[in-house]
Amino acid sequence: MALLYSATDYLEIVYQPDLRILVGRWLRTVTEPEALQGYHDLLLAAKKYDAHYWLLDIRRRHRSAPSTLNWLLNSYYAQLVRELGAPVRMVYFMAPGLRQEFQDDNTVPEPTTYAHDQPFRMNQCITENESVAWLQAEQRTQEAA
């Protein structure tokens, strides 16, 4: 049974204890302050549930502003590992067109740039099933280590 952590008009945060996955569903395009608040709220939820495996549905939100993206890549992801402990695994569930944009413009690291033993790994998927399957594979890898 999913546990609702919080819901705003732009972000719903739910923890799925059976899967051990924190789900953040962005519900619309957001302003930069909303994006930063949303990521702050996701971290608070992750701390509450000890959630190291995240699925972020960005199909309605689209791209982050360049300054938000810079903050995510250069600060926030490292903060997750510091505050939650390793490993932290995050998958962005996105529309195929956005996935293609990321591949074409190379502004977001490709999933293959993250080694399996790194404390933080990220992936990008175009279906929710693929997203959950990747997180579950990461959980199995961690359990076998």
Tokens of 144: 């076998």
- How sure is the predictor about 41, in pLDDT bands with cuts at 50, 70 and 90? very high
- Of all residues in the chain, what percent carry a pLDDT higher than 70? 100
- DSSP characters over 89-134: EEEEE--HHHHHHHHHH--S--GGGS-TTSSEEEEEESSHHHHHHH
Helix, strand, coil percent content, the chain, rounded in steps of 5: 45, 25, 30
Q: Is the pTM of this model over 0.75?
A: yes
CA atoms of 134 and 94, how far apart (whole Å): 14
Q: CA torsion angle for 124, 130, 131, 135 (degrees, to 10)?
A: -110
Beta strands at 3-7 and 11-16: parallel, antiparallel or unpaired = antiparallel
Q: Which residue ranges form the domains of the chain, and what is each CATH number?
A: 3-144 (3.30.750)
User: Tens of pLDDT along 102-143?
Assistant: 888 877 777 777 777 889 999 999 999 999 999 999 999 988
